[in-house]
Chain A
Amino acid sequence: MSRIRERFKVLTGRGEKALVAYITGGYPSLEVAGQMVLGLAECGADIIEIGVPFSDPIADGPVIQTASYQALQGGVTVAGILEMVQRVRQQSSIPLVLMSYYNPILQMGLQEFCYQAARSGVDGLIVPELPREESLPLLQAAEQAAIDVVPLVAPTSNRERIAAICARARGFVYCVSVTGITGEREEINTDLASLTDTIRKCTDLPLVIGFGVGNANTARNLAPLCDGVVVGSALMRLIIGDSFDRAGELVREIKSAINRQ
């Protein structure tokens, strides 16, 4: 069983929900990012999503754009991120999911990328602009390397699409809470109950909600609908502001909010 499935099994056994914490790989440096992965795990994060910086992050809001840009200016490479993952993996068994746009994966080669990622200790992969129509080559490469490709389902996805997406899903299903890009939001107006209900009917995999989850309150409201939430931009905003302690606190707050259901 993959580390991701195993983690969800343990959480389910304890009656807990998963907190997926996103950080941009290589921001402010690979070394600090590696320490943050371990630190956030200690604060209660259950899965860490590590963003591979890309020059043109069309699915990301201003906060992650800034972090990605700075990381690239600092010379971060895919190989560097995988080395960081390897160092983290020696000290922790927390599930690690890479979030990468498709082109950096393509340029390394799908098989090579999946092989290297798996060897470094990566468990899953999220590619935000790879819809199911284009995903078969990556799914095949990832399956060979035993990496879970976690698909995104959006508020605009109809039932037919959701069924097709879920049929090829591994690890968990990432339910995008709003039409839009990553970033904190005051409120989430999507009819998530109906969307998550449709996803549940299509798969037994854990369902995680992301995009727009920036505080304990939002997370608490979403928790009954899902098996976990992703917090990204809110964390990165604190990290960019050098508030590392506050980032740790935010993880604790959200973890405690989603568990108290």
Chain B
Amino acid sequence: MSIYSIHALPDERGYFGDYGGRFVPETLMPSLLELEAFYARLKSDESFQEELNYYLNDYVGRPSPLYFASRLTASLGGARIYLKREDLNHTGSHKINNTLGQGLLAKRMGKRRIIAETGAGQHGVATATAAALLEFDCEIYMGEEDILRQGLNVKRMELLGAKVNPVYSGGRTLKDAMNEAIRDWVTNVDSTYYLLGSVGGPHPYPMMVRDFQSIIGRETRQQIIEAEGRLPDYIVACVGGGSNAMGIFYPFLNDGGVKLIGVEAAGRGLQSDKHAATLNCGRPGTLHGSYSLVLQNGEGQIQNAYSIAAGLDYPGVGPEHSYLLKSGRVTYTTAHDDDALEAFYQLSRVEGIIPALESAHALAEVIRLAPALSREAVMVVNLSGRGDKDVDSV
């Protein structure tokens, strides 16, 4: 089948092939159905799209540049490398594309309070920003371990008026923060909008977050045609939950000539239990509202993931990625902590751009691939965030 008959996915039950669905307590179901219907109406509402575009242009600074990294290209001696500069967005990552979209939606739904989970703090900061701008009360759940390693973002969220709730359960990272956010949501479902940050969770979140993030891919498509007169040969993006990857991949899914590569965190190695390579090592299961690949033991207990990059440190992945893996449309590789660190330093010194450790995983794959490719080959890497937040952990 043409892969984007995929553009018809998810189906009406929220499935991408075998993956997706809604695995949540009954208490949340009416609210999810309402959200689905509300979003379906907004999608074709011109005034909503205009309002969102206004903020994306004048507040976020879109379109983000597609920068030809000539020095990195020269130093690797192979493919021509372009960086999609989501790090230049207001708040410093791609997360703001989604939080403004969902924030404006929540406003129209009449919600007054928004909550979110965060790992690296990028989604938390972007949510707190949307909350300040759109006048919501805002609470962010963040694992204690992540609070320790992403202190700058905690401070930013507090400055923006959000309350940051530390989570002490489990491995005290993103998975545990998400558990706690869901518990808050199920308790305060009438007043509260859950602003999920990745392409995971129950339907319609994976679809909605993908749609809001696909601005990245739509711009990239136009920009690369302007720069090169053709589509790229490769698009590379890091995958934790998978929102920046889904956003840049989605508008290219039907372009069979464009190789799409997602890069997961191999942490300290796939043979160790210290990694976050869900698509490479996981098995199908349910976590946080959807059926997708999951890192788990034989008993179905979810494992704690690990990555030097807090934003990739998650044992689940968005269901559409599981589908794209199975269909063969996207290849998912991995990069170790050390590879990511090396890429982090290399881009900083060669191009004067400090990438987020998450995005550095995608760069590591580019550094590995590019030298072997011809000088005519074109690669785009999604530079999903900037690395200021990581200066204390490298």
Contacts and interface: CB of A to CB of B under 8 A. Distances in A.
A103 B289 CA distance: 11
Q: Which of A55, A104, A181 has the most CB of B within 10 A?
A: A55
A176 B23 contact: no
A152 interface: yes
B288 A58 contact: yes
A108 interface: yes
Interface in A69-120: 69, 72, 77-78, 101-108
Interface in A110-133: 128-133
Interface in A214-231: none
A32 interface: no
B328 interface: no
B22 A131 contact: yes
B24 interface: yes
Given A58-B179, A103-B296, A156 B301 contact: no
Interface in B266-298: 283-289, 294, 296, 298
A158 interface: yes
B299 A133 contact: no
Contacts of A59: 25, 183, 186
A102 B289 CA distance: 10
A155 interface: yes
Given A104-B300, A179-B189, A133 B30 contact: no
Nearest to A76: B299
B182 A134 contact: no
A179 B27 contact: yes
Interface string A156-177: 1110010001000000000010
Contacts of A132: 26
A56 B22 contact: no
Contacts of B11: none
Contact of A129 (B25, B169, B303): B25
A69 B179 CA distance: 14
B241 interface: no
Interface residues of A, number: 41
Nearest to A113: B300
Interface string B177-190: 00100110011111
Contacts of A152: 25-26
B26 A106 contact: no
A129 to B, nearest CB: 5
Nearest to A174: B26
B302 interface: yes
Contacts of A141: none
Contact of A176 (B27, B284, B296): B27
Interface string B146-181: 000000000000000000000001100001000100
A58 B27 contact: no
A153 interface: yes
A244 interface: no
A130 B26 CA distance: 8
Contacts of B23: 102, 129-131, 134
Contacts of A105: 300
A198 to B, nearest CB: 14
Given A103-B300, A107-B285, A56 B170 contact: yes
A30 to B, nearest CB: 14
Contacts of B287: 56, 103
Q: Which of B28, B187, B188, B300 has the most CB of A within 10 A?
A: B300
B75 interface: no
Contacts of A145: none
Nearest to B284: A106
Q: Which of A57, A58, A180 has the most CB of B within 10 A?
A: A58
A180 B183 CA distance: 7
A156 B26 CA distance: 8
B124 interface: no
Given A56-B175, A179-B189, A158 B30 contact: yes
B21 interface: yes
B30 A72 contact: no
Q: Which of B25, B169, B188, B285 has the most CB of A within 10 A?
A: B25
Contacts of A176: 25-27
Lowest 4 A-B CB distances belong to which pairs?
Answer: A107-B300, A104-B300, A154-B27, A180-B187
Interface of B: 13, 21-31, 169-170, 175, 179, 182-183, 186-190, 283-289, 294, 296, 298-303
Interface of A: 54-59, 61, 65, 69, 72, 77-78, 101-108, 128-134, 151-158, 161, 165, 176, 179-181
24 contacts: A58-B179, A58-B288, A59-B183, A61-B183, A101-B286, A102-B286, A104-B299, A107-B283, A107-B300, A129-B24, A130-B23, A131-B25, A133-B21, A134-B23, A154-B27, A156-B28, A156-B190, A161-B26, A176-B25, A179-B186, A179-B187, A179-B188, A180-B187, A181-B183
Given A58-B288, A156-B30, 9 more contacts: A55-B170, A58-B25, A103-B300, A103-B302, A104-B299, A107-B299, A108-B300, A131-B24, A165-B26
